[in-house]
Amino acid sequence: MKITKIKLYRIRSGNLGEKGARFGESQYWGGGWQTGSHIANPMSVYPKYARVRTLWMGPGQDPYAIEIFTDEGVTGCAVNYGGGHFSCAVIEQHFSRFLIGQDPFNIEMLWDQMYRSTMPYGLGGVTAMAMSGVDLALWDLMGKALGQPVYRLLGGQTKETIPCYATTHPDLVSHWKGSGFLGVKIAAPWGMADGRMGLIKMQKCLEDCRSALGEEMELMVDCYLSWDIEFASRLAERVSDCDVKWFEDPLQNGWAEHSNAELRTRINPIQIAIGNLEFDVKAFAAILAARACDVIQPEMQWCGGLTAVRRIAAMAKPYDVPVIPHGSGVYNYHFVQSNLNSPFAEYLSVGDGTGVRPIFEAIVGEPLPVNGHVTLSTNPGFGVELNRDLLEPIDF
């Protein structure tokens, strides 16, 4: 079997998600609480851009779809909610030379060639997002060629169903009580840029969330790189009675192994969960070696795909650090299903943030949580197909 062709698509605006920066909405969220609410973010230090994320995000946050064809008629596909036209250009104008005419089963070699060839200009960002799309499409193709779901290719079924936690806005937490989800993660509205009043507001926010959830559900906080060591440490002391499970990505990435290692010792027993915006596999190795986290969270669609996450998981295992991929969707679920060191997955609520609905509008057949648990089918590949009504071929 040989790869004969690669097709790349932009995603047209639909009703639910993946509209991206071109349509004034962030990543795959399609509006709703993620783009219409005040949420602390890396640009919160600049008042002009602090109110909502759509004021500063760029086309690197646009989605794209990829389809890989072979001479035996077997195809593989994936939708990535990051990289946009930039990543498609990398695939078309660079990665295609390593793919066309090659055996799609040689995923390790193909991944390594993409990785090494982008060292002079990549090692992260849109190049890693381009690698992710190719890698996920190759895994989908391999599963379809063998008539097996991807999780069986990775090691099989390690759990009957996948427990999930739900991510939403703090104002919407009460909708998830008694939903069957193991917990709720909130997007922090305030951070370092808000000073002392930010501390006071976050304390009240977490106290209200714990009251709304009761004692049965976990409570986590997504800080989106908008805190610093002082803010996180002082808040941890203020909310010691709220039983917060983790602070996620509190500090800026890039030097995470040092600053988060210090923070981790300060805020115990609250855990540190990081990895969302780390890209190079070597960065995850440094984080783990420095004991800088309690939970590692690679973003499968940004850090190099399933192949990269498998490498990160192998590094995390000796440290007994659980791997909970950042974000939501079918690709993460197949990994979590097959990995003993991934006890649960994230489900990201979209739209009004009060219920379960598909994350990806550009995918047909996405598995959804029922009573807080995802059950995967035995359909080959990732078990999903592209929604061709929303695809526009990209011409270069």
Give the strand pairing for 246-248 and 218-222: parallel
**pLDDT number for residue 17:** 42
* CATH number of the domain enclosing 306: 3.20.20.120
Does position 178 have pLDDT exceeding 60, yes or no? yes
Does position 352 have pLDDT exceeding 90, yes or no? no
Looking at the structure, do residues 178 and 29 belong to the same domain, yes or no? no
Cis peptide before 269 (omega within 30 of 0): yes
Looking at the structure, do residues 114 and 37 belong to the same domain, yes or no? yes
Looking at the structure, do residues 38 and 174 belong to the same domain, yes or no? no
Looking at the structure, do residues 309 and 339 belong to the same domain, yes or no? yes
Average pLDDT estimate for 118-147: 97
Confidence of residue 22 (pLDDT cuts 50, 70, 90): low
Number of domain units in the chain? 2
Question: For residue range 49-70, what is the model confidence (pLDDT) as tens digits?
Answer: 998 888 898 889 899 999 999 9
Looking at the structure, do residues 140 and 156 belong to the same domain, yes or no? no
Looking at the structure, do residues 252 and 189 belong to the same domain, yes or no? yes
Looking at the structure, do residues 92 and 241 belong to the same domain, yes or no? no
**pLDDT number for residue 57:** 87
Does position 256 have pLDDT exceeding 90, yes or no? no
Question: For residue range 186-202, what is the model confidence (pLDDT) as tens digits?
Answer: 999 999 999 999 999 99
Does position 148 have pLDDT exceeding 90, yes or no? yes
* CATH number of the domain enclosing 73: 3.30.390.10
Looking at the structure, do residues 259 and 335 belong to the same domain, yes or no? yes
Does position 74 have pLDDT exceeding 70, yes or no? yes
Least confident of 80-94, 250-264, 280-294: 250-264
Does position 351 have pLDDT exceeding 80, yes or no? yes
Strand ranges (E), the chain: 3-11, 64-70, 75-80, 162-168, 183-187, 218-222, 246-248, 271-274, 295-296, 345-348, 363-364, 373-374, 385-386, 391-393
Residue of 296, 291, 290, 293 lying closest to 309 (CA atoms): 296
Does position 28 have pLDDT exceeding 70, yes or no? no
Looking at the structure, do residues 180 and 248 belong to the same domain, yes or no? yes
Looking at the structure, do residues 136 and 166 belong to the same domain, yes or no? no
Sequence-distant (≥ 6) Cβ neighbours of residue 237 within 8 angstroms: none
Q: Which is it for the CA torsion 14, 16, 18, 21, positive or negative?
A: positive
Of residues 357 and 75, more confidently modeled: 75
Tell me the pLDDT of the chain averaged across its residues.
Answer: 93
Looking at the structure, do residues 130 and 169 belong to the same domain, yes or no? no
**pLDDT number for residue 31:** 60
Block residue for tokens 């295609």: 96
Catalytic residue set = 326
Confidence of residue 137 (pLDDT cuts 50, 70, 90): very high
Name the percent of the chain lying above pLDDT 90. Answer: 84
Tell me the Ramachandran region of residue 195: left when phi exceeds 0, alpha when psi lies from -120 to 50, beta otherwise: left
| Residue ranges making up the domain that contains 204 | 152-385
**pLDDT number for residue 179:** 96
Q: The whole model's pTM is what?
A: 0.95
Q: Which residues of 352-370 are buried (b: 16+ CB within 10 A; e: fewer)?
A: ebeebebbbbbbeebbebe
Torsion of CA 245, 193, 258, 261, to 10 degrees: -20
Name the percent of the chain lying above pLDDT 70. Answer: 95
Looking at the structure, do residues 134 and 279 belong to the same domain, yes or no? no
DSSP bridge pairs for 69: 5, 75
Q: What are phi and psi of 147, to 5 degrees?
A: 70, 30
